[in-house]
Amino acid sequence: MNHPTVTTVSHTSPLWRLVATLLAGGAVAALAYYVNVQNLVDEFATVAAAATFFSIGFWARKRPDQLRARLGVFGRIGDAARESQGEINAWVHAQSLRVGLLLGLGYGIAIVLLKAAIVSVVAAFSSVWIAVAVGAAVASLVTAPELWKAARSRAALPEAPSIDSARTDAEEVRW
């Protein structure tokens, strides 16, 4: 009997992408669980917040042509900030030390708020089962967004008919 043999496997097939996404979701969930168990949530949040702010600034300077696409609904805000970047820099450098301190304080507050948000999200991973459930849900959202869209559209309740439209002339309410 002559059986066909597989000589190469494409690493971009849907099955490989599914497996890779599930593994990535599991890795992120396991990392969040480990960070929680080791009581490293605060340190993790500090690094993640600083890395997020640095990455956004670096990326915005490195690839300004993709700013609108990456920011999605906030693309117009990103375009406005990029177009006025020179004016903003000139204004910041022309200000007094007090204004510079206030700007630094605002930047610090933004980092603290992001850090608090990261701490609250990672703190939810204190149970291994929650970590697994969230990791699987996020992986399924990435691999099968149509599934989530269909579930959301089916969950929407149809509009109930109004009382006025359900009445007929014979059923008119008389007081």
Q: Is the pTM of this model over 0.85?
A: no
DSSP 3-state assignment of 25? helix
- Measured from the Cβ of residue 60, the count of other Cβ atoms closer than 10 Å reads 17
pLDDT (0 to 100) of residue 154? 64
Is residue 171 pLDDT above 80, yes or no?
A: no
pLDDT (0 to 100) of residue 174? 52
pLDDT (0 to 100) of residue 125? 82
**CA separation for the pair 25, 136 (Å, rounded):** 6
pLDDT (0 to 100) of residue 4? 64
C-alpha angle 111/112/117, rounded to 5°? 95
Is residue 9 pLDDT above 70, yes or no?
A: no
pLDDT (0 to 100) of residue 144? 74
91-137 pLDDT per residue, tens: 878 888 888 888 889 888 988 898 999 888 888 888 888 888 888 88
**CA separation for the pair 3, 96 (Å, rounded):** 79
Distance (Å) of CA 92 to CA 17, 99, 103, 149, 160: 46, 8, 9, 45, 56
**CA separation for the pair 103, 92 (Å, rounded):** 9
**CA separation for the pair 142, 136 (Å, rounded):** 10
State the DSSP string of 73-137.
GGHHHHHHHHHTHHHHHHHHHTS-HHHHHHHHHHHHHHHHHHHHHHHHHHHGGGSHHHHHHHHHH
What Rg value do the Cα atoms of the chain yield, rounded? 26
Given pLDDT bands bounded at 50, 70 and 90, which one contains residue 7? low
Mean pLDDT in residue range 84-91? 77
15-66 pLDDT per residue, tens: 777 778 888 888 888 888 888 888 888 888 888 888 887 877 777 677 767 7
141-155 pLDDT per residue, tens: 877 777 667 766 765
Mean pLDDT in residue range 57-78? 71
pLDDT (0 to 100) of residue 139? 81
